[in-house]
Structure 1
Amino acid sequence: MCHPRTKLDDEVSNEPEKIIVAAVREWYSISQVRDTKALKIPLLLAWEPPELGQFKLNVDGSRRCALGSIGAEGVIRNSLGDWVWGFAVNLGKRQILEAEVWGLFFGLQLAIAKGIRRLTMEMDAATAVLLV
């Protein structure tokens, strides 16, 4: 069953930042995960370059627990593994999941601005990947 559109629906749908923040906050508020250490599984990983003619975006979010400050970082590399573009942004005081999702948002925004069409993305936040 469809609900009638409201002014709020139109405002949010035209602003991707609000959509991202709303989705992260909604997920976080209903999440029942209490012990995140139980979900962590150590893996030995190595960065692999993308296929010839493609680019790879690696993003990550970070949080300083004592301050609650978060940030997001990302790098785009070519198929030779060369650094092509990157970004780092301070996002104020929020939750780590928001930092991870914002990192993906800013990374994709950078790729679009640079005209990249063949892009592989990697991030270490499984929850953020599931949200997307």
Structure 2
Amino acid sequence: MDDEVSYESKKIIVAVVREWYKASQVGDTKSPKIQLFLAWEPPELGQFKLNVDGSRRCASSFICVKGVIRNSFGDWVSGFDVNLCKGKILEAEVWGLFFYLQLAIAKVIRRLTMEMDADMIVLLVGSPPSQ
């Protein structure tokens, strides 16, 4: 019976590896490339903008978050770069929000908008509390 289970396990592993290999080859096709030009857009005159981004290393699961505040002319006002413990990318984005608020309070910046790429955080923060 062990030989039977072992043979079935090998078949499953080979099938999964083949499927993974086929899926990983998708990027090698000669599909046309689309070039995007992204640029930072300043806030309105007299306002400030904070850009925040969290990241996670896949191998170690360590997370970090960085943020920069710029004025309406694009000048650097303040920023942060924090290495955190092991975690998930969503946790890094939440920490980014925390450090953003902490920095805005410390610098007494009231007219501040924030840009981040974590839709879930934006939805959580922007949603009214459920009754």
TM over 0.5: yes
Describe the SS at the equivalent of 1:65: coil
Aligned counterpart in structure 2 of residue 121 of structure 1, from 102, 107, 114: 114
> What's the % identity of the aligned pairs?
80
| Structure 2 counterpart of 1:85, one-letter code | S
Asked if residue 105 in structure 1 is aligned to residue 92 in structure 2, the reply is no
Out of 66-75 and 99-108, give the one that drifted further: 99-108
Corresponding residue number in structure 2 for 1:26:
none
1:94 maps to what in 2?
Answer: 87
Unaligned runs of 5+ in 2: 1-35, 126-131
Question: Where do 5+ consecutive residues of structure 1 fail to align?
Answer: 1-42
**Rounded Cα–Cα distance in structure 2 between residues aligned with 1:102 and 1:57:** 14
- What TM-score does the superposition give when structure 1 sets the normalisation length? 0.65
State the distance in 1 between where 2:51 and 2:62 align: 21
TM-score by structure 2 length?
0.66
Count of aligned pairs: 91
CA-based RMSD of the aligned residues comes to 1.5
SS in 2 for 1:81: coil
* Aligned counterpart, 1:66: 59
Question: Residues 61-84 of structure 1: CA distance to partner in whole angstroms, max 9, x if unpaired?
Answer: 000000000001000000100111
